[in-house]
Structure 1
């Protein structure tokens, strides 16, 4: 199966909203805005190009983690499968781009973050006692 995998860097344009499907799966949806910048040699400075908007959907555990971690306006890096949808409504044709996210993180080129493992995704390894030096003879 050929899928278009993309990585998009942008800002959260709508507050993430989480819903639960009829089958019980959590999905969090938000819009991501990305604006290309280029150097304009005539003006001697940087200028913004057009802004593209993507609908991002995160499923299952990623959905919950996004809802708890991501807010409006924050810079993100989103990786996932690109889907282009064409619809007709009221006689007009619409094209939209959606990303089914496989990974989402804050853009650390523009700020700092601290990672905290969620209890539902923590891979707990059993405690292995540290090796101890043998006791000297005659000590119990």
Structure 2
């Protein structure tokens, strides 16, 4: 099974970055996502179901994640969800996300974006970016006092 999903959660392990012998950067980490519910009887928020995911990223995304994401960070991950059954001494199911995009969840704080960094590949390289001098000036919008 493979579905596209977007998950909000917290980075539960320090991201592990490696480069294969073929030069492919890969960064992976565990993501924990816990739903919260408001209990009207106690007038307080309570934890509900907790889901764990293994998140893997490749190429430029992997290099950028390795330099920007740390254990404990709130993130939003979008990518393909794969559910895999495994057997051995025990049996289990693993939820894995092959990430297309990973970013900090700004509902928890602030982040600063810096363009560039990481590996480049023509398939995911952005188009040309205008310099500050070439960019059109921002329109000023009147604000009521």
The TM-score normalised by the length of structure 2 is 0.79
Flag as ranges the 4+ runs of structure 1 deviating above 4 A. Answer: 119-127
Output one character per residue of 1:65-86: Cα deviation in whole Å (capped at 9) or x when no partner.
0000000100000000000010
Equivalent residue number for residue 53 of structure 1: 52
2:31 counterpart of 1:32: yes
2:101 counterpart of 1:114: no
2:87 counterpart of 1:88: yes
2:90 counterpart of 1:101: no
Q: Which one has a bigger Cα radius of gyration?
A: 1
Deviation (angstroms), 1:123: 4.8
Output one character per residue of 1:8-30: Cα deviation in whole Å (capped at 9) or x when no partner.
00000000011223432111000
The TM-score normalised by the length of structure 1 is 0.82
* Cα 1:109–1:95 shift into 2, 3 Å: same
2:70 counterpart of 1:71: yes
Deviation (angstroms), 1:122: 6.4
In structure 1, the gaps of 5 or more residues are 131-140
Q: Secondary structure at the match of 1:97?
A: strand
Q: What is the aligned length?
A: 127
Structural RMSD (CA): 2.1
